[in-house]
Structure formats: structure tokens, C-alpha cells
């Protein structure tokens, strides 16, 4: 389809999303990038953060827990251990996970345990961020 991208978000458990989109904005470990049709081929590591994609005037959001992003022939493929669409996020569960990770981080002294707690905290914060962005984008009637 000319003028669009095919966005695929894939985890080991499932294909989270496969859709034609006009634009993708993601956060790599080197910074944020926006992808439009006919983008040069690229492979980059993704940070734990949100990914926005737009089709027409509709903008949607996914929480991406790191991974790899590949751009090739107007196909954007995200491979991640975990990813959720903003509509799938259970906000209360994410809040509880954030609070638990914050408490664990303060209690840990081993560097590896602190790192694991920080990663859990990053994932929870990303889920909450995706949920908040959805609220800002779609006002309730």
C-alpha cells in the first residue's frame, strides 16, 4: 500500500499488533525517532518506553518493554519480550507493580537485585505513561 507503513509488534506469546499506519514514533536507546513511509532501512535497540503510531487523525499508543525495531521496505517490526496496547493496560495493576518495585528497590543492596527492581519500576512506569497518554488523547464524553 503506497504511502503507508505496516507496523508489526511481536512478543514471544503473540502478535500484539499488525496494522497499516502513516507514522511510527519510538524511543531507541539512542533517542526518539519518527518513521514515515520510505524510511531508510534501520535496526535499532528500543528503550523501555511508549511507542506511538498514527493512522489518519487517530493516534494510538503501545507500551514497549525494550526490544529491537527494524525498518525495511515500509515495514516496521518491533520484537519485544513484552508489549501492550494502551487499551490492554490494567492501570491499578500497573500502580501496584510500581509501588512494589519502588519498595523493593529501596530494600535491596545487591547491585543485581537493585537493577532488577529498577527494570520492574521502568516497566510499570511505562504502562502508566501509556495509560495517561491515552486519557489525554481521548477525552471522555
User: How far is the C-alpha of 130 from the C-alpha of 89, rounded, in Å?
Assistant: 8
Superfamily of domain 5-86: F0F1 ATP synthase delta/epsilon subunit, N-terminal (2.60.15.10)
Domain range list for the chain: 5-86, 88-137
Topology adopted by domain 88-137 = 1.20.5
Closest by Cα among 53, 63, 46, 42 to 4: 53
Instruction: Decide if pLDDT at 104 tops 50.
Output: yes
Instruction: Decide if pLDDT at 130 tops 80.
Output: yes
Q: What percent of the chain has pLDDT over 90?
A: 55
Q: What is the pLDDT of residues 22-73, one digit of tens each?
A: 999 999 999 999 999 999 999 999 999 999 999 988 899 999 999 999 999 9
Farthest-apart Cα atoms in the chain, separation: 54
- pLDDT at 141 (0 to 100): 40
For residues 24 and 34, the answer to whether their CB atoms sit within 8 Å is yes
- Side-chain-side CA neighbours of 113 within 13 Å: the count stands at 8
For residues 4 and 21, the answer to whether their CB atoms sit within 8 Å is yes
Amino acid at each position: 500500500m503506497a504511502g503507508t507503513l505496516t507496523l508489526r509488534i511481536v512478543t514471544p506469546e503473540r502478535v500484539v499488533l499488525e496494522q497499516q499506519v502513516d507514522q511510527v514514533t519510538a524511543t531507541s536507546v539512542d533517542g526518539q525517532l519518527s518513521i514515515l513511509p520510505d524510511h531508510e532501512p534501520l535496526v535499532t535497540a528500543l528503550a523501555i518506553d511508549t511507542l506511538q503510531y498514527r493512522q489518519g487523525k487517530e493516534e494510538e499508543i503501545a507500551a514497549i518493554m525494550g526490544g529491537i525495531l527494524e525498518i525495511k521496505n515500509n515495514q516496521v517490526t518491533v520484537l519485544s519480550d513484552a508489549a501492550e496496547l494502551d487499551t490492554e493496560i490494567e492501570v491499578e495493576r500497573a500502580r501496584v507493580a510500581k509501588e512494589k518495585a519502588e519498595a523493593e528497590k529501596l530494600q535491596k543492596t545487591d547491585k543485581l537485585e537493585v537493577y532488577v527492581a529498577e527494570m520492574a519500576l521502568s516497566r510499570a512506569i511505562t504502562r502508566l505513561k501509556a495509560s495517561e497518554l491515552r486519557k489525554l488523547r481521548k477525552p471522555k464524553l
